[in-house]
Chain A
């Protein structure tokens, strides 16, 4: 590192706000902040009792003359931790326990308990599935199901639950067939490379293989490096130091795989014999010595240029060493294995930064870098560059352990703040996006959690883990949009349909409207950050969708036997995790009476009218902002 760069980096580590513009002519060069080796910065001076994360955040706040929000109350915090760590709502007993006693020790115990729950993996695997554009069908003309791809989903869940170190997590997904002791599980992990759309009838099969390479470069570049490497297919990258040649050197890792057109039934993958396992939807090289791979002039398959040797990215010059030939006994080229080694090298400047930023984003509601899939010149500058580096360094030094990192973050006071602030009116003007974390970000539950929480409120959630995906019930109108209506969708048995959302079939042509209404991504491209829209069709879905009414009625059935007054309190407890206030109770009481009278006027029997009014109350509780948001 030259002295000037080092100086820049020091200034930047000291937290002078946005990173220095280490770039020339509107583009990043090798001096760009994200391409510098991660060095662990010392937290700003503060009392040793202060969590390092808080030291960084408060230092920045105090320079703006701002203070963090007071701690969230224990009930809020317990709900928040459940939302973030398992995606399930806390039990009534847990809530009661924390209402009685909420000291640090019990909170730590709760965090450890949630991290150990096997529902942790079910929550966090979904975040990763977004990033690797996972869905279970091919898209295009036939949208066929990728057989056994659900095993990859289960592999991701298990990896999170077993706290697989992230370097292994990367290595197995890229090269689970090439590691020193491959197992069926590690080969299942390579399903990541095949989770994309796949066209079984491309216009020009020769052109199409380059589209597939672009997808692979895109998913690897985006997921692990936070770089738009794919933009260098046709020309040198316009903003980042990625020459066109690097794109092809990088893409060459996939050239020995099943890229050439072959039998349609293989769906662009290897045969079971080539893979070495039956009933696994994975990836492996077909050749130890593949044909030459050529750069394409302007990215045009009709204009091959010079042949290109496989390699890494030259923007990390200290790691950009030539790839070695495969070991003599290896059946594959070991290019992907070496790509993985490049990614998880301790001196790779991007891999750890990108991952900790993803963890932070999911926990705090906004990344330190607001563009989680892009750390290049077109990224949003980090709000707390030194904190980002501290987290990245700590993550690597801690053995790339995700649970440990999450634990660090959720035990900070920054995470444990309230989502409202006494100085809201002034702070909200000064930093309307809350980039400085002066309060916790309030979050709308994502599609999966909304659905799971509804099933939990009605005591119907089936917590069975793993296995093939279930097909939810769809309204007949939904199937109208499908070119093969009859074979489009066969709903699973009812108990299966009440499983957690992560086990729901993701069919590219037929995404479930209740899920897409709440911004479930279309899974065609890597998604690092979902949109969070607030639009009327969401209200229509929660007001009218059959699934929501089924849950409301099921919840009402659990309450039917109770004394009238207990009913209301119990409905609140189940739907919102707290008893109603006196005035809320009174309003609900009035609602029951009003609806009951109305339903009777409409001709319902007394018992039926009572039940329907109770279901009406349960239904509106599932529609409240309190149900939809996490403070």
Chain B
């Protein structure tokens, strides 16, 4: 049944070319982050030779490796790990074998040493959606209406059964902290299409951040420019956007005018000070960001109908609805990578349904179902769905058996779980891969986290083997020596 992975790629340690380029790149990052911007504005014409922007703004928009439809990615992160057999992977066998133990030949690590119960069928009904008849459970009735847009991958697997390392793997490829996140790789590869907003945005659940925190949106060994910027859903979306109240825009402009005058005199006495010129420009950019970043989250600009469609203004959908709508506004503004966390903090505050699937998934499903459905509708209506890749999933899945006798919860399961993608470049209305009869482990067309990453990059026009970053004598890539594009879900 199971198809084997192709042999791993050759080790990336095997290339010697471009060394000079890399040094120059490294050097360029140190001093010239904004020079291309300046060159574009004719700034350097006044400042002699420094006009040669060796490598320029690390966030300058760059062409992809090949032309694709998707320009941005929205990653809907179901933090805590939803249960596949209760959402997107229907297993009628569980009903037949309910109350029996998982067959002994199916080996697993019992994460956290929790109680092991018996095979337990899905807690809510599955029903077909759309023309395709894709089976989706009643935890996602509204998403089900978009079944024909979804490519459900039912054969995902990951390497860790613990949230901390599994989240880090879903975000960076490795279950060890320290590597750049997917969003960092995307922005490193494509740059930003908007000067006044961060290119890589992360929105957390109000209940808290994910376990392992910052490393989940880290830039790892790349410059900090590529790390995710935390965006808040109202008021000032990013840190330090506003000073004390008395320093209003006029007072701040007064400050900046004198500041730039002093800086200009300082620069004039230091010919060739490209880094000084860059810093002058960064203040003007910051001044613009102060106005444009809050505007991006100003949802009063949206119609009442739109806000209601996302479930804004009512519980329990208000928070995720806002985030989804903001994500659409960010996509419109050229932000490359947006990650929206559902679930924050610990245990039942996330999708980590140890106690009760029905209680937990009932709660979190109700929070996100309408907003996600509205996002798909909205993107489609505005002609943006083609340009946007939407990814849904958690860090792993859950066991097909209960946590203890007749217990209503399920423990962690990295051996098989479901994710879905929709939008730019995705073939809708299909299910890809299979888990075994109980939904325990991926058995057919297995898809590792590396393959998910390779596919996301591919859909954004990036070859995951070509996008490398030279670090400590090695060409690093998101997928390391692994990863293959899941061609079966491409349009």
Q: Which residues of A come within 8 Å of B, CB atoms?
A: 26, 139-141, 143, 197, 199, 201-204, 211, 222, 228, 231, 234-235, 237-240, 370, 373-374, 376-380, 419-420, 424-425, 428-429, 432-433, 442, 444, 475, 477-478, 480-485, 508-511, 513, 516-517, 519, 522, 524-525, 531-541, 543-545, 549, 584, 587-588, 591, 594-595, 598-599, 602, 604, 612, 616, 619-620, 623-626, 628-629, 631
CB-defined A-B contacts under 8 Å, sample of 18: A139-B177, A197-B178, A199-B165, A203-B109, A204-B109, A239-B13, A379-B473, A428-B48, A480-B232, A481-B213, A483-B213, A483-B344, A535-B34, A543-B243, A620-B259, A624-B263, A625-B266, A628-B279
Contact B208 A485 (CB under 8 A): yes
CB distance from A544 to the nearest CB of B (A): 4
Apart from A203-B165, A228-B473, A231-B474: 10 A-B pairs, beta carbons within 8 A: A140-B211, A141-B211, A203-B159, A203-B175, A424-B271, A524-B218, A533-B29, A533-B223, A540-B290, A619-B255
List residues of chain A with CB within 8 A of the CB of B16: 26, 239
A231-B474, A587-B258 known; A424 and B31 CB under 8 Å?
no
Interface size grouping (class) on chain B: 35 or more
When C-beta atoms are compared, the residue in chain A nearest to B475 turns out to be A378
**Quick one: which of B176, B224, B247 has the most chain A CB within 10 A?**
B224
Contact B30 A532 (CB under 8 A): yes
List residues of chain B with CB within 8 A of the CB of A532: 29-31
Q: Which residues of B come within 8 Å of A, CB atoms?
A: 11, 13-14, 16, 19, 23-24, 26-27, 29-34, 48-50, 52, 54, 58, 109, 159-166, 175-178, 198, 204, 206, 208-215, 218, 220-221, 223-225, 229-230, 232, 238-244, 246-248, 250-252, 254-256, 258-259, 261-263, 265-267, 269-273, 275-276, 278-280, 282-283, 285-286, 289-290, 344-346, 414, 472-474
Docked Cα-Cα span, A442 to B276, in Å, equals 10
List residues of chain B with CB within 8 A of the CB of A199: 164-165, 176
When C-beta atoms are compared, the residue in chain A nearest to B349 turns out to be A483
Docked Cα-Cα span, A525 to B473, in Å, equals 14
Contact B221 A525 (CB under 8 A): yes
When C-beta atoms are compared, the residue in chain B nearest to A25 turns out to be B16
List residues of chain B with CB within 8 A of the CB of A204: 109
- Judged by DSSP, the binding face of A is loop
CB distance from A419 to the nearest CB of B (A): 7
Contact A510 B213 (CB under 8 A): yes
A482-B208, A533-B223, A544-B241 known; A616 and B165 CB under 8 Å?
no
Contact A616 B247 (CB under 8 A): yes
Contact B286 A540 (CB under 8 A): yes
CB distance from B34 to the nearest CB of A (A): 6
- Select A419's contact among B238, B270, B289, beta carbons within 8 Å: B270
Docked Cα-Cα span, A140 to B346, in Å, equals 14
List residues of chain A with CB within 8 A of the CB of B273: 442
Contact B29 A625 (CB under 8 A): no
Contact A534 B34 (CB under 8 A): yes
Contact B276 A629 (CB under 8 A): yes
A199-B165, A510-B213, A544-B243 known; A539 and B473 CB under 8 Å?
no
A424-B271, A624-B259 known; A524 and B251 CB under 8 Å?
no
Contact A425 B165 (CB under 8 A): no
- Select A428's contact among B50, B213, B265, beta carbons within 8 Å: B50
CB distance from A113 to the nearest CB of B (A): 29
Docked Cα-Cα span, A525 to B177, in Å, equals 9
**Quick one: which of A199, A483, A519, A599 has the most chain B CB within 10 A?**
A483
Contact A228 B474 (CB under 8 A): yes
List residues of chain B with CB within 8 A of the CB of A424: 48-49, 271-272
List residues of chain A with CB within 8 A of the CB of B213: 143, 481-483, 508-510
